[in-house]
Each structure stands twice: as structure tokens, then as C-alpha cells.
Structure 1
């Protein structure tokens, strides 16, 4: 199914806008201080090398106190945050008080360890929270200068559920401006660095979460994902993350809120260093909707059907997938075949070439009442009038804009959208949805690249703004997906792959993640490289 002449013109216009932004960036971008050669200190405290599940068990058994664990993570954050700028506001004093209360509760508990495990499965375990989630008493700006000073008065539901399970928040982490870019940079908190290479990005919009988890400054965290905002940071920082089937984990009390049909594509989910924490976290975060998923079902990996999709078919808007990522995905397929005795079938979907156009089209579809979603330029201007991206670009060139060039770019790209929804894109998406759903069923899993390249250098996403399409298309298909680390590559940067299953089959990808962690080693200490 070919694009119409008008749609081809839109692709040309998108590329033209990108080229203009590249020229502007190269001439006007301020120079960053060189960070080459600087690296994180290695992890020395063994408490930082345990999963949340293991820490909770040790705390319940009084083998270690919650105060010791929380203090260990506070020390690590204070050690690495000057390098990565991931935690933008801490609550260390309150966290230590809460940890002391946990230790007192355990001393006084008469029901035994099993009672505590059932009622408070994460009792005493530290937690980091993406700043776009409401965490009571903490900043709630999502990097927008006009929201500076706004403090959350409630907890977002997933955060409240994790706290109710005993987790102790240590602070909030950086995001891209308004969560709509895959580099975490804004004019309130600055720019966040990748712990494996400080001159590289940690991804976005959950980039602060990905960075502090990858740096071993946190063990579990929460992220949100409407175009890859959990998976890209997890990929770039060498950790695990899960984009849940939409509608399972509440997305309330996040900023910006979803509008139009965006709630169909937005997911909240767990981010962590150890695969065994994904399932218990998801059980907690799902709350009353946990029964929508089969999380207690034991998965026999040998009975699953496996597929691999090596690339998007050659979109003119995306970078070709690098050889090392093609190779590592092939190695995953080979290991699955060798370890499980299964056949991993390579498949291709021509519609994937239009992943960005599908994502972009569906992001602006109106809701059932015909109300369109809020425009990005409107969000940029809140609480006042909508921003004018061209004017903001001129202001940025003389250092007077409150917005990042990335946010201005999103506003400019928004201006290229067609006024009428292109029917051919709708047809492509519907065809792709039908084919993928039929392929996966209730027992199928496919591998797909997380991104065309390993973590790019700072600001380089401006040169290739559509590469997020490798994650964004999975949102539009409404599928659960687990991001799995696969060691580090030639440049010492994390490798990884997306593992995707059918709707509501989240337990399948979580089981595959456990297997891949055993096979490829999971998270690696960036300070040990």
C-alpha cells in the first residue's frame, strides 16, 4: 500500500524541518564541557548488588535493616549524581525516618515473615520516581519552566500502591521537557547523562530513572511510555523495563495528562536492574486491575512460538539498524533455539516502514466524543497562551527561550501534520494490527530492535528525530513489551532487545526476560567497565 502524493510531500517536509533544525543546532548550540575520560566509581557496597526482592527478604528476616539499605542508596546517589544529574530532588531525611519506622514495625511484628511478605512485599526497599508522576510533597513540573514551583499534593496511583507495599521513595528523577523527547533535558533541571558514557544520552522521557538505575543509585523505579519512554532509557542504560498492556496500570496524576485517544497508547510500568523484580512490581502497580493479566500463570518457554523482526523494512525517516544490534538479536534467536529447542522464525511486515506516520497519525486522533488531543504547543504555553514554535526558535537562537530546542522541534513537526487524517495510514495500521495479532495469538513472542543505534551522543537525537519509531509503533499496536539488556558492545555501551507479546500476555515477555538475564548476564556495573 503506497503513500499518496500528499503523504509523500509530508515526509519530504518532515525531513526538511529536520535539516533546518540540524543547521540551527550546529550554529547556535552552546558547547558542553568535555566529559570524555570521566567515569562513574564502581559499586562497592554489596547491598547495591541485590534485587529488590532479595533486599525485601533480608529486611523482613532482620539480616539487614531498612535504614542500612536506604543509607546505602543515599550514599550511592550522592556519589554518582554529580556525574549523571538524574535525581533532581531528593527526600533523603524523610526516607531515613520511614526506614526507621519499617525497622521498628519488623521488630514488633508477631505474625511472622510470611505475613509481612504477603501484606508488604517491598517493605523497606528504596524506590525512585519519574518527576512527571505525582509524588506527594515533591516537584511536579515535567521540566516546564512555567510549572516551576508546582508541588504534588497527592501520589499517582502506581506510586501510592508501591508505597503501600512498603517501598520508600528516595526522590524524583529528570525527564525531557513535557515527556515528549528521547533525551532528558529541560531548563529547570538541566541535562542528564548516561552512566556508561557521560557524553551520551540516557534516553527519555524516563531518562533520569534509566540513568540512576543504571548507575546503581536505585534498585526499582517507575516510568511511563507512549512512544518508548520506558524502553529507550532501559536500553540505553542497560536495565530492564516493561511497557504494560494499556489500561492495566493507572496513568492518572501524571503530567501532561493524556487526551484524545492517547490513553489507548500510554502505559505505566516498572523499571529495574534485575528481571526478577518486574513481576512483583507489576502485580503491585496494577492494583485492582491485576486480574486482567495472568501473572500467576507459570510459563513454559519451550511451548511458546518465537519470531524475530530484524528491522523496520527501510523507512526513509529512520537510521538503518547497526550491525552490532542486528548481530546481538540474531544471537538471542540462536540461544533461544539452542536452550529451548524452539524455532525462531524471521518475519517481516512492510507496514513497519511507516511506523512514524502511524504513530504520528494516531497520537492526534479525537476521542469518542470527537474531542481532539491537546496540542503540544498549547502544553508548552501553559498556563498562558499556546507557544509559537517559530518565535521560540528565534528566541532560542539568542538564548532567550524557556524551551529546549527539542521541545521547539516537536512543536515545529506538529505544524507539518495534515489537517485531515490520511486514510491510507489508518488502513496500514489496521492491516498491521490484524497481522501482528494473528501472528502472536496467546502464545507468540517476537524480538524487535529497541533502537537503530546504541545510546547516541548528547543532542544527536535532533539529527535523527524519528528513530524512536522502533518503540513507538508498539504503543500504537497496544502490545506489552519488555526491554531486556544483553551486555555491552564494542564501545562499552549497553545492547538490548524488545520482547513483544500479544495483548494481556505480559507474563510471557516477563518470563523471557528472566531467561535472557541468565543467558546474557543482565545489568553490568558501568563503573567496572
Structure 2
């Protein structure tokens, strides 16, 4: 699209202003958080904490290790790291140890064979943590908000129930952005969660408590949910694997407080972990009750794989360009597939991606006419603009994220009802472009975010760049976030592996392949790979 000289001048001026403002804010926050800059959590010393969920489940089944010892090791690690990262909301120490004792008794009894346990309870005795936006029976469902500080879950979310039925033991619930409405985990109910690789940095949001705890070694396997990148962004910032499933593959019922009827087409529940094999195991459990469950962990012939890649969504004055190390990570992944399997990757351009944020916002707002009512479950007398003014004066009980979202329909620069039909058509066109690109043997390697984990509070300045993740909530495609080692500054770098609809096993298999080649998760404090 050709722009007039006046328009080009305006866009360049806007770009320069935004870049200057962003760098100013970044420099100020670097000074504000200098005392925590470079500080990490203590190194992991207990070897139990470095084993995958799949490996531990096998060792519990074969009596090489007791579930009680595993659960206790994780509870101790939580006690060690949580004062630094503030990742948990509530812990189940006594209940978890009691459940672990029951697991050990079951294994010792011989009532189930090893094969039965592997088939029927593949996560038997393995610790699990759950983002507080997902209900866990008998535990607080605060949604990270003072509005719900005393709410208790009457039952497990269906995904939590599936994991428990498979033998997993819930040891804690984890912190979130208030109501899941920000890309940083910070709220008035539970405070701010820090990144275990650098305490001055955010662990992302809204599943930032989960990502921080897992990466710090305080959890092994977690459940998060994702409405615009809330699994993938935190996993990238903390060097983890995370998976946003295909639309309809895994239920998102049991999320609180958002009414699923209004927001379900944007909301996805999925696993977060340190090892790719645990994504395969968790997804097998989460889809086990489906009519036609997908098969995870099967061998893939990568010589038949078609690899596409992108390192930019195109020019936009408010979208931050991909930095050198993120682009390098994608090129390294491309090079691996090309050199190892003799295939030729292709760089593609999808111009409509730069409008992904506008498409998403207009689809979201038109689907949920009163998003403030939806987020607060009708609790209290919340007037969006009044709450915005109270926030400016420091008197609101709500944090920045939900206030921005609630007021979005009233800011023409963000949302215009007259433009809904246009953006709905543009969204359908974008979906068609992806259907044409991705068949059952294709993946797209794509940035998760253009930069390393920002300082606390900084990500608000970078909201336009979340187009890299939210577009796939709109399209409903499966996406696996894959760690690709550490940057020169010791912070994680990662990429997204995007597949065609219901091709989740392939995106996870590609992540497993890249894990073998580049090392996957690297514990905080370790040297760069």
C-alpha cells in the first residue's frame, strides 16, 4: 500500500516519538530496579528437581523414588525461591504430602501393575501447579483481584480434574495479572512476580506466576490459560516450553471470573513445563476424553516437513522491530532443519499480520459488549471510566490491566464500532491466508516477542508488539513456545512454532527436535548455550 508523503511523514514522526519514549522509560526503569538487576534465584541442587515429569512418574511407578520425596523436594524449593520471585498464591503442603503418601501406598500394594499405572495414571505422584485463574476445589479463586479475595472454588476446572485423575498432585496455585488482563503479573491482592533469571525483570503475564515458579525449579508441570499470549509470553521470558492448543481441543471451562460464553473463542488452556516430553504427556492427558484424541509423541519424519519462517510482521510505527538475538534464534532453528534433514525452508510475508492487534481488539469487543461486567462477573458497581480516573489518582482497587481493557471500547484509537465489520473481514482474510499456508506437514517459525523480558512495568509501553502472540488466539491455531537458549545478558530467547488446525502433535514434535539441538530450558544462573 502506497502512502502519501504527508502520511509517511506522520508515521515516521510517530515512530520516532514512540521509540524515544520507549527508550526513556526503559532507561528510567533500569535505574529504578538497578538493585535487583542481574540477581537470580539460587541454583538448583537437588537432582530430583532436574528430572522431567515423565521420568519421575516412571521412577515412582518402579519404586525408584517415592512420591513423598518428590513432593517434599518441590515444597522445599518453593519455600526457597518464593520469597524472591513471589510466584505462589496458596500452597497445599499437608494435603499434597498426604496424597503423595497414598500414591506410595498404592504403588507398594501392587494393586495396579506398572503398565496399568502408565496407561491409566501416567502422572501418578507428580507435582502440579495451577494458575489461580483456573479453579482448584477448596482453594481460593481470587483471579488476582481484591474483588474476589475471599472466593473459594467449589470444584476443579475440568483440566485440573483431568490432571488429577491422571495422578498429578496439586502443590500450589500461582499468581496472575489481575483477571488475566495484562502481560505482566502484578496485582494488589498478591503483589508482583519477578523473573528468576533477573529479579528486575517481569516473568510476563498473565501466567507469570506459573512460568516463574516452574523455571525457578519450584514446580515441574503447570496449567495456564491464554487469551492473547498469556502462556507463550511468560514461557518465553522464563525459558520454558508452553503450548496453546487448537481451538476446541482442550476445554477452557473452569476459568474464573470470565464467563466462557462470551470469551471462549479467544481463551485457551494449556500446559507449561521445562521439558518438551512433558508437553506431550500433559497434552495426552488433557485430550484423553476427546471423541477422537490426537496422538502425541509419535515419530515424525522431518524430511517431509515444510518449514516456513518470519522475522517481522512488517512495518508499523508502534510495533517494536525484532532484535538481533531473536532473529538469530529463528535462523538457527531454520538452519538446523535444513542441514539435518535436507529440506529448504521458505521465508514468507503475511502483510495483514501487522493489523493483528486491531483485528483482535475489534473481534473481542464486539463479542463481549460489556467486558467490564464480564471480567468482574457482575460483582460490585464498576464504572470503567470512573475507575480509570480513580486509578490516575491512586484510589482504584483495580490494577492497570483490567482498567485498560474495560475502557478500550470508549477510546476511538483502540476501538471503533463502525470498523467492526471491516476488521472481521480482515480477520477472515488472515485466517484464509494461514489455511492456505499451513497443511498437515507444515510449520511456521515465528517470534514470540521482539525483545528479551522487559523490566517491571515496561511491558505497558510494548503492548502493540503483543500482536506476535494474540493473532493465534484469533485464528485458533496450535502454537508451541520453544526456548532457544540464553542471550548474552543471560535472559532467555525463544520462538513460536505454529501449525495448522489440530496439528498440535507436530508443533510439539518440532519443539522436541529443537530441544535436542539447542538444549531447551537452561536453569537460572547457568551459562549460556
Alpha-carbon offset, residue 398 of structure 1: 3.8
* Native 8 Å contact 1:248 1:290 kept in 2: no
CA distance in 2 between counterparts of 1:257 and 1:42 reads 37
* Native 8 Å contact 1:238 1:496 kept in 2: yes
Alpha-carbon offset, residue 478 of structure 1: 1.2
Q: Of residues 396, 399, 408 in structure 1, which corresponds to 2:394? A: 399
Q: Of residues 461, 484, 487 in structure 2, which corresponds to 1:486? A: 484
Query: Who is 2:249 aligned against?
Result: 248
Residues 1:124 and 2:119 aligned together? no
Alpha-carbon offset, residue 457 of structure 1: 0.5
Q: Give 1:162-311 correspondences, 5 Å limit.
A: 162-258=163-259, 262-289=263-290, 291-295=292-296, 297-311=298-312
CA distance in 1 between counterparts of 2:369 and 2:300 reads 39
Note closer, same or farther for the CA distance 1:23–1:47 as it changes in structure 2 (3 Å cut). Answer: closer
Q: Give 1:448-527 correspondences, 5 Å limit.
A: 448-527=446-525
Alpha-carbon offset, residue 34 of structure 1: 3.3
Residue aligned with 2:418, SS: coil
Note closer, same or farther for the CA distance 1:419–1:259 as it changes in structure 2 (3 Å cut). Answer: farther
Note closer, same or farther for the CA distance 1:296–1:337 as it changes in structure 2 (3 Å cut). Answer: closer
After superposition, what is the alpha-carbon deviation per residue over 1:110-150, rounded to whole angstroms, capped at 9, x for unaligned? 44211111111000000000000000111101112111110
Note closer, same or farther for the CA distance 1:520–1:413 as it changes in structure 2 (3 Å cut). Answer: same
CA distance in 1 between counterparts of 2:498 and 2:452 reads 20
* Native 8 Å contact 2:176 2:206 kept in 1: yes
Residue aligned with 2:68, SS: helix
Number of residue-to-residue matches in the alignment: 521
Alpha-carbon offset, residue 338 of structure 1: 0.7
Residues 1:436 and 2:434 aligned together? yes
CA distance in 2 between counterparts of 1:210 and 1:435 reads 32
After superposition, what is the alpha-carbon deviation per residue over 1:457-476, rounded to whole angstroms, capped at 9, x for unaligned? 00001212222110000111
Q: Give 1:35-46 correspondences, 5 Å limit.
A: 35-46=36-47
Alpha-carbon offset, residue 429 of structure 1: 1.7
Alpha-carbon offset, residue 20 of structure 1: 11
CA distance in 2 between counterparts of 1:291 and 1:257 reads 28
Query: Who is 2:444 aligned against?
Result: 446
Residue aligned with 2:315, SS: coil
Give the root-mean-square deviation of aligned CA atoms.
3.2
CA distance in 2 between counterparts of 1:39 and 1:455 reads 14
* Native 8 Å contact 1:283 1:290 kept in 2: no
Query: Who is 1:353 aligned against?
Result: 354
CA distance in 2 between counterparts of 1:494 and 1:63 reads 33
* Native 8 Å contact 2:135 2:155 kept in 1: yes
Query: Who is 2:66 aligned against?
Result: 65
* Native 8 Å contact 1:246 1:263 kept in 2: no
Query: Who is 1:83 aligned against?
Result: 84
CA distance in 1 between counterparts of 2:481 and 2:448 reads 8
Alpha-carbon offset, residue 327 of structure 1: 1.4
